[in-house]
Amino acid sequence: MKQAGSPTPAVSHAARGPVGADHARAALIALDWGTTSLRAYLYDASGNVLATRASTAGIMNLPRNAEQGGFDAAFDDACGAWLEHAPGVPVIAAGMVGSAQGWLEAPYVDTPASAEALVAGIVRVEAACGVTLHIVPGVLQRGELPNVMRGEETQIFGALGEEASATNAANSTDSARRALIGLPGTHAKWAVVQAGRIERFHTFMTGEVFAALREHTILGRTMLTPDRPDTGAFLHGVNIAREKGQAGVLATIFSARTLGLTGQLSREQQPDYLSGLLIGHELAGLDAVLVQQQSALAGQSLRLIGNEALCERYRLALAQFGCVQAELVKHATERGLWRVASQAGLVKPAAQAARAG
Amino acid sequence: MKQAGSPTPAVSHAARGPVGADHARAALIALDWGTTSLRAYLYDASGNVLATRASTAGIMNLPRNAEQGGFDAAFDDACGAWLEHAPGVPVIAAGMVGSAQGWLEAPYVDTPASAEALVAGIVRVEAACGVTLHIVPGVLQRGELPNVMRGEETQIFGALGEEASATNAANSTDSARRALIGLPGTHAKWAVVQAGRIERFHTFMTGEVFAALREHTILGRTMLTPDRPDTGAFLHGVNIAREKGQAGVLATIFSARTLGLTGQLSREQQPDYLSGLLIGHELAGLDAVLVQQQSALAGQSLRLIGNEALCERYRLALAQFGCVQAELVKHATERGLWRVASQAGLVKPAAQAARAG
């Protein structure tokens, strides 16, 4: 995704460095605060990222208990130096920090969820240092199989930001078109976005199930980590799930063991084969759901957000399902946080930084 | 399954007790020797079980390393006293003891597998005490998704034994009819048996995946064990998998968490709901495979082997799929070991015990 010429504030990355002169230009601090990690971004008034901080102080991994000021301690550690040099800069945060186990609960916004609805759902918590954090809510899809996201909604609006603005300028019918966005990971999300709203989404526990199977079942016992990922074994797994997966993932995963017993899969091939099986089942399940909605993966043009190597695996797998247009969107998190902050009036793009309310 | 009037040797259970006068009548020692447990049975010449022993000395849990005589130690511990009082009694064993990690590998017999083929595949290992163990091989189904069993083949022939003999006497067309046999558990097996042979089978890692999800993923964090199983929550899970499971198990399991977040499922209901989801996906997958074979679960008459409480859960779940004739077969393990030993000539039913070769 190119940034030049985009009406959305460009997000560029300065090298992470010590607090310096740049910070006089600081216009926003934004936090991507999840379960196991905290990432902080410092922006100038044009939305350029001046500096970043990353730590393992996720909400389940705070430096001390929440009751003993664990959130304050993690926040100070990540952003204290920035705030010292740029007092009064507005602060926004998204992710599990807004969950019931977070700093302050930001109740879910229902689907279909627009960026405006997210802004309206922002809650404010005052840190011990006197700074107000603006916490972005997650999104809830009600129903027999409810779905929730916290953090991904902000990434999705980050990925959409450029296009939404571009299509507004060029062709307004485009912005009404459905977009499919995938966020591979521990809990992979697939969201259908239409007219700038998250209409519905699905969660696949692919990453977490892979880890649990590998580390805590018999399948892991015969596995060895290969020197480099084995794409052939991965695609073999994808295609078994796609073509021979009728019995479901509870059945096909056993073949990671039996193909080893019969000498058809080496120990080093088994991890990638299992990964392929699970991602293949995820995509087959997604495809089945899309077909119910008069759509399909084949011929679909979609976007991926997340770890580049993992997204590349998904691109390979998607191609097996006839989907060859899967574009990796970079910096969706930073873009999304900036976009929500802008929409909330915390910053005025390409102008002087607004003061947080 | 009634035993009276059956031409198959009846299996009855004497109370487990110390070595006594009964042992003079001992005709066979049989071992069900798995990964995490060892069960031993002492039979009289009519196939009645005189005594049983059970320990946790599975092949992955031997009292000492295999290289240091771990198998001998476990065998002596389980059967030493019996052998002292009944020297020369033949010994048969089935299960993982015949795997590559077992005492001696008994190479798999290919499907379709008859009892005769199992007998022909028996391997013999001499214990340090001089006794010869006859180890029954497992069954292998080759293909793109190979399947293996070790131990279950013996249980299946135990469940079939009575019927096979009965139908031989009464109606030989019955014995050519297909039978479907389910063995719920850590690795659930579903076998199609025809004309006394295991034609094909499927493995579902349902039990092991449930344990891994509950103990090693986010799903377990909000769960509490209920005082008694919650059948309503279990059936809810089964029916979600059956009716709304198109996206697959990687997607539906996340609802165990989200239904909790939305107040629709209590913490105590979540374990049974998750169990229902997994068993429901297993049966939906089995049904899909049966349909490919011009069959279906609906209207099917089948047999279940295994833990009674677990089989009862499967009966409830099967009824949701229109299968209301699921009969629990008791003592399939003891019956099967006796049957294979008889067929191997190790014992002569209703006569004096044969000596092991």
From B140, B278, B289, residue closest to A246, measured CB to CB: B289
Is the CB of B21 inside 8 Å of chain A's CB atoms? no
Q: Check whether the bond before B63 is cis (ω within 30° of 0).
A: no
B209/A250 touch (CB, cutoff 8 Å), yes or no: yes
- Torsion, Cα of B250, B256, B262, B268 (10° steps): -170
pLDDT of residue A178: 85
Q: Do A288 and B251 touch (CB under 8 A)?
A: no
pLDDT value, residue A177: 74
Mean pLDDT by 10 residues, chain B (357 residues): 38 48 83 96 96 95 92 97 95 97 97 97 97 98 97 96 52 64 97 96 98 97 96 98 97 98 97 98 98 94 96 98 97 97 86 39
Instruction: List, as ranges, residues 241-300 from A with C-beta within 8 Å of B.
Output: 244, 246-255, 258-259, 261-262, 264, 278, 281-282, 284-286, 288-289, 292
CATH 3.30.420.310 segments of chain B: 205-329
Judged by CB atoms closer than 8 Å, whether chains meet at A250 and B216 is answered as: no
B218: which DSSP letter? Answer: G
CA distance A88 to chain B (A): 35
CB B332, CB B184: distance < 8 Å: no
pLDDT score at A179: 93
Asked if B179 and B192 count as a contact pair (C-beta separation under 8 A), the reply is yes
State the pLDDT at residue B175: 47
For chain B, give me the number of helices (H) and strands (E)?
A: 11, 15
Taking contacts as CB-CB distances below 8 angstroms, the residues of chain B near A205 are 217, 219, 250-251, 253-254
Q: A158, A339 in Cβ contact below 8 A?
A: yes
Pairing of strands B132-135, B139-141: unpaired
What was the pLDDT predicted at B177? Answer: 74
Rounded to an integer, the average pLDDT of A253-274 is 97
State the nearest Cα–Cα gap between A246 and chain B, in angstroms.
Answer: 6
The residue type at B25:
R
Span(s) in chain B for CATH 3.30.420.300: 21-176+332-343
Q: What pLDDT is stored for residue B133 in this prediction?
A: 98
Contacts of A248 in chain B (CB under 8 A): 204, 248-249, 281-282, 284-285, 288
The confidence score (pLDDT) of residue B161 equals 74
Element (H, E) at A126: strand A123-126
Token pair listed for A21: 């002169």
Chain A stretch 31-70, residues whose beta carbon is closer than 8 A to a beta carbon of chain B = none
Stretch A273-277: mean pLDDT: 98
The confidence score (pLDDT) of residue B357 equals: 32
Cβ of A247 within 8 Å of Cβ of B208? The answer is: no
Indicate yes or no: CB of A205 within 8 angstroms of CB of B246.
no
Among B66, B48, B60, B42, residue whose Cα is nearest residue B10:
B48
**Chain B within 8 Å of A216 (Cβ-Cβ)?**
yes
Chain A stretch 112-141, residues whose beta carbon is closer than 8 A to a beta carbon of chain B: 140
Three-class secondary structure of residue B93 per DSSP: strand
| pLDDT number for residue A161 | 74
Interface with chain A: mutation pick from B140, B150, B250, B291, highest number of A CBs within 10 Å: B250
CA closest to A207 among chain B residues: B250
Q: Which residues of B288-318 are buried (b: 16+ CB within 10 A; e: fewer)?
A: bbbeeeeeebeebebbbbbeeebbbbbbbbb
Q: Hey, which CATH number is domain B205-329, 3.30.420.310, 3.10.20.740, 3.40.190.10, 2.40.160.20?
A: 3.30.420.310
**Taking CB atoms and an 8 Å limit, are B148 and A203 in contact across chains?**
no
Tell me which chain B residues have a C-beta less than 8 angstroms from the C-beta of A213.
209, 212
Name the DSSP letter for residue A24.
G
Beta bridge partners of B113: B198
Q: Does B28 touch chain A (CB under 8 A)?
A: no
Crossing angle of helices B231-244 and B308-320, rounded to 10°: 40
Residue A176, pLDDT score = 57
Contacts of B216 in chain A (CB under 8 A): 211-212, 215-216
Beta carbons of A146 and B262 less than 8 Å apart: yes
Task: Give me the CATH code for the B21-176+332-343 domain, please.
Answer: 3.30.420.300
Chain CA centroid to CA A124, Å: 23
| Min distance B27 CA to chain A CA atoms (Å) | 36
ipTM: 0.90
Do B258 and A285 make contact, defined as CB atoms within 8 angstroms? no
Q: Which of A206, A211, A251 sits opposite B250 (nearest CB)?
A: A206
* N residues, chain A: 357
**What is the pLDDT of chain A when averaged over all its residues?**
90
The residue-averaged pLDDT of A231-241 equals: 98
> Phi and psi of B115, rounded to 5°?
-60, -35
Closest CA–CA distance from residue A226 to any residue of chain B (Å) = 22
Contact between chains at A247 and B218 (C-beta distance less than 8 A): no
Q: Is A177 helix (H, G, I), strand (E, B) or coil?
A: coil
pLDDT for residue A294 is more than 60? yes
| Tokens matching residue B346 | 């190790």
Q: What is the rounded distance in angstroms from the CA atom of residue A162 to the CA atom of residue A154?
A: 14
